[in-house]
Structures are given as structure tokens and as C-alpha cells.
Amino acid sequence: MSNKKIVFINPPYERIAKGYDFVKHITNNSPSLGLLHLAAEVRLHGYVPKIIESDIFNLSIEAVMEEVEKESPDYVGITLFTVGVWNALSIAREIKKRWPKTVIIVGGPHISSMGKETMERFREFDYAVDGEGEKILVELLQALETGGNPFSVPGIIFRKGPFVHQTHGKAVNKDLDELPMPAWDLLPDFPRAYIPAIYDYPRGPVATIAASRGCPFHCKFCDTSTFGASVRFYSPKVVFQMMQHLREKYGVRHIMFVDDLFVASRLRVTELCKLLIESGLNFTWSCTSRVDTIKPDTLELMKKAGCWEISFGLETGSDVLLKKMDKAAEVEKSEQAVNWTAVAGIRTKGLFMLGYPGETLETIEQTKAFVRRIPMTIMNLTKFTPYPGSPIYRDLYGTNIRDDHWERMNGMNFVWAPDGMTVDELDRHYQEILTAFYNRPKLGLYYASLSIRYPHHLLRLARFGLGFLAAKIRSYTQGRHGLLVQPGA
């Protein structure tokens, strides 16, 4: 057993653009579940882990360094989303400058989709793990310590001389039940500091769980490179035990299931619902589903078991676009699923995107009409982004690696525009679609009554408003005439 220290870092990232920091008061502040899983696994093998959630706590690079210095770790593990790569690099650079012997290991969606290229570019990262890191990270650490050959560990990307090599295979956990529970105890101020987006949960405290991994579909905009196509589930009993633990130890009342296909197996969902109903724990929870995997009877049971909201990847109101996306769905089916969900008394969160290749004025109008027609409660509209690891990335860019947009790949910037449309036009349509959906008296009344029932949302809204006001005043006093985007952003 080793007792070496490993500090895990979730680097900061831009949520919209520099100058919009105040949106943090209303956006999602979920911790990295990946780091919680990794920390739990290495701890089982004697390592002493710490987690730094730099984004959630608004830590500057210098503040992250201070935290690292307190631990003087042997290893640093950084989780990489494409949008956070440059910040991760700044952190790695500082660490190497101050403590050159610290071994830096990276993993996460950006590595699973573009690991070799990333390692070729950034010499500050010593090792990368491709895929699900729990077991492989331990194997790698053990190999490094026992003088074994780290290059015999599968799913590793490493540097040898001037070249970068990748060992055979990809890290996959076949049996999720074998994994230890995420190390929630390592999160500072958990669960209080880790709240989802405003109005996206009834009341806290809230925690996230990934109850399955993998998705067999191949929607062209989606990066599935970390978990791949084979779906693996925790058994309902173990999911229930996690929920019980979160209630008993931390008083958690609402769970967000973040798996891609929570409702993929109705048998499993039914079992979990029964456990929840029998327990009388009175959790509320939300999950994701494809529109083709739910049926009224399952929805009814889910509601009884506390299901509060389902996120459906509806994407667009156009069948032509759904087809181009390889979504294997139809607008009519989407509408039916949302109607069934409303009848069951569960909220629908619709996940949409604007600007996918093939988007036209006609498809935009179809989306506007669609979002006004269906009984949806909350709408999440992202600006189409070709993420590395998604099939559309290669369609658009060929095999060329494009890194010029990484720090803007947060779904809030149009880094690409379809033929015949400019980014400015798309931005205008973006506002129009959201307004078409939200600017309706019926929805206004719903949110007013939700605010009365759960007033803590109003408090968040007030903080957001004050932040906005402060940013405006700052902008005028700095001679930027009210513009919020900071120069150079």
C-alpha cells in the first residue's frame, strides 16, 4: 500500500465569456463526478487524495497553486474537458515550474477524444489515461512506484524521447458495482456549494450520480468517446445505497442522475423506483431519457418514486435536421414523449441546439413553433459546437485537429456557422427562440408559483441581478460603454 499524495484538479472554464462571471449564480455548479470516483479508488489503495474544484470556488491559478503547495503532492491528476484545456495547461505549467518532480496525469473527455494530439502538444502533461480512469490510474501509479514499466499498462498515453506513444486498449469498467462510492467526503463544503442551475431542482441539498455508463447511439454531435457504446449499469440496489448514504450523511434531498440513458432499461428503473417508494425516503430526482425509451406506465411509477424532471435531447423541431444528426428520433415521437411526461406530472427539460449543419430559416421557425407547442417547463438551448470526439467534428474538419476554438467550446459560442448564415444572425435567432419559449404568461405564472414554493431560487436570481448590475457599472466606469465582454475575450 502506498501513502503518497495525489491532488485532483477540476480546472476553471469560461461559462459564457470573460466578463460574465455573475452567471455563476444561476448556472450549474455540479462537481466532477469523475474526480470523485478516481479519488475513492486511489484511496482504497492507500493513496491520500485531495480534490480542488477550482471553478466552483472561483479560484485563480495562483489560488490553485496555494492549495497544491499545502499538500505538496507526489502526483497531480487533472480532468480535461475541451473547454478547460488551456487553463489546465496554465496550471500544469506553474506546477512544473515550482515543483518539477511532481508527476502530472490527465484524463477526461478531451483526452478520450483527442489524447495523443493533446500529449504531443503539451509537454507539461506526463501521462494521460484514455477512457474510464479508476483501475488504470491505480495500475499506472503502482507501476511508477515499483519501478515497473508504466508502458505495460493499457489505455495509457505517454512520452518517450521526442515521441508520444499510446498503449493498446481503452480503460473500461465492466462491473460498476465493484467501484467504491464516489468520495463525496473530500469535497469542501459538500453538498452546500454544489448546486445545479436555478429552477432546475425543487430544493437542496443536491448531489449527482451516474447510474450507468455508455450509450449505443451515434448522434453525430455527441462525444461518446469516454464511455463508448457498451452500456453498463449499477444495480438498482447499489444506486439506492448511494442515495441512502447521501441522505444519511449529508441530508441530500434531490438527486440528479447524469447518465446518458438513465431510462434505457425499464426493468432496472422499475426496480429502483420500487426501492425508493418502499423506503419512504422522499427523494426528488431528475434524469435524462431518449424520447423512445419511456412509456406512460413507467412514467407513472417514476413520478410515484419522486421523479421531478426528465431531460430529453429534443434538439430541434425539424425532422430533416434530426435525420442529419443521426438522432434516430422524430419530432412527432418527441412531442408524444413530452405529452406523456406532462400527463404523469413530471417536468420536461428540453435540450435543444441551434446552428447544426443544415439549419435554415425554415428549421428555426419549426423549432420556435415546436417549443411553444409542447408542454415543456424548461428549455436549454446550446449553440452548436463540434466537440472533438463527436462524428460531426471529423465531417466538418476532416482529420485536421482544430485547437483554435477550444476555450470557447462551452456551447455558448458559435464556433462554426452553417452555410448561408452568419454568427450574428444565429445569435439573433438564439435570443428569439428563447424569447418565444419563455415569454409566455402561462410559463411566467408557473415560475412565479415555483418561486413562492421554493424561495431560495429568488435569492439566487437576486444575486445574479446584483452581479449583472455591478458588471455594468464596472464596464461604464472603465469606459467600455456597458459592454460586458472583457477585451481580449
From the list 313, 386, 388, 389, which residue makes contact with ligand SF4 (rule: CB under 6 A)? 313
From the list 84, 306, 313, 355, which residue makes contact with ligand B12 (rule: CB under 6 A)? 84
- Cis before 31? omega within 30: no
Beta strand pairing call for 127-129 and 48-53: unpaired
Distances (CA, A) of 382 to 11, 184, 185: 22, 30, 33
Site string for ligand SF4, 457-486 (x = CB under 6 A): ------------------------------
131 backbone φψ class: left, alpha, beta (φ>0; ψ -120 to 50): left
Does 171 help bind ligand SF4 (rule: CB under 6 A)? no
- Cis before 191? omega within 30: yes
- The least CB distance from residue 339 to ligand B12, in Å, is 25
From the list 22, 25, 54, 79, which residue makes contact with ligand B12 (rule: CB under 6 A)? 79
Q: What is the footprint of ligand SF4 within residues 230-289 (CB under 6 A)?
A: 260
Rounded CA gap, 419 and 423, in Å? 11
Site string for ligand SF4, 335-354 (x = CB under 6 A): --------------------
Rounded CA gap, 251 and 238, in Å? 18
Does 416 help bind ligand B12 (rule: CB under 6 A)? no
- Of 106 and 305, nearer to ligand B12 (C-beta) is 106
Which of ligand SF4, ligand B12, none sits in contact with 205, Cβ below 5 to 8 A by type?
Answer: none
- The least CB distance from residue 375 to ligand B12, in Å, is 24
**Stretch of 72-80, 115-123, 184-192, 368-376 contacting ligand B12, by CB under 6 A:** 72-80
User: What contacts 49, CB < 8 A, 6 or more positions away?
Assistant: 5, 6, 7, 8, 38, 39, 42, 43, 183, 186
- 422-445 burial string, b = 16+ CB within 10 Å, else e? eeeebeebbeebbebbeeeeebee
From the list 7, 32, 184, 254, which residue makes contact with ligand B12 (rule: CB under 6 A)? 32
- Of 286 and 366, nearer to ligand B12 (C-beta) is 286
Which of ligand B12, ligand SF4, none sits in contact with 486, Cβ below 5 to 8 A by type?
Answer: none
Total chain residues near ligand B12 (CB under 6 A) = 42
Does 217 help bind ligand SF4 (rule: CB under 6 A)? yes
Which of ligand SF4, ligand B12, none sits in contact with 164, Cβ below 5 to 8 A by type?
Answer: none
Report residue 22 CA to chain centroid gap. Answer: 20
- The least CB distance from residue 260 to ligand SF4, in Å, is 4
- Of 133 and 306, nearer to ligand B12 (C-beta) is 133
Report residue 49 CA to chain centroid gap. Answer: 22
Which of ligand B12, ligand SF4, none sits in contact with 316, Cβ below 5 to 8 A by type?
Answer: none
- The least CB distance from residue 205 to ligand SF4, in Å, is 27
- CA 449, 455, 460: angle at the middle one, nearest 5? 115
- Of 240 and 393, nearer to ligand B12 (C-beta) is 393
Does 286 help bind ligand B12 (rule: CB under 6 A)? no
User: What contacts 269, CB < 8 A, 6 or more positions away?
Assistant: 262, 263, 298, 301, 302
Which of ligand B12, ligand SF4, none sits in contact with 84, Cβ below 5 to 8 A by type?
Answer: ligand B12
Site string for ligand B12, 396-415 (x = CB under 6 A): --------------xx----
From the list 129, 153, 195, 307, which residue makes contact with ligand B12 (rule: CB under 6 A)? 129
From the list 54, 102, 113, 367, which residue makes contact with ligand B12 (rule: CB under 6 A)? 113
Dihedral angle at the C-alpha atoms of 116, 120, 126, 130, nearest 10 degrees?
Answer: -10
| Residue ranges binding ligand B12 (CB under 6 A) | 10, 13, 28, 30, 32-34, 37-38, 55, 77-79, 81-84, 105-110, 113, 129, 132-134, 137, 210, 222-223, 226-227, 258, 260, 382, 387-389, 410-411
| Residue ranges binding ligand SF4 (CB under 6 A) | 215, 217-219, 222, 224, 260, 290, 313
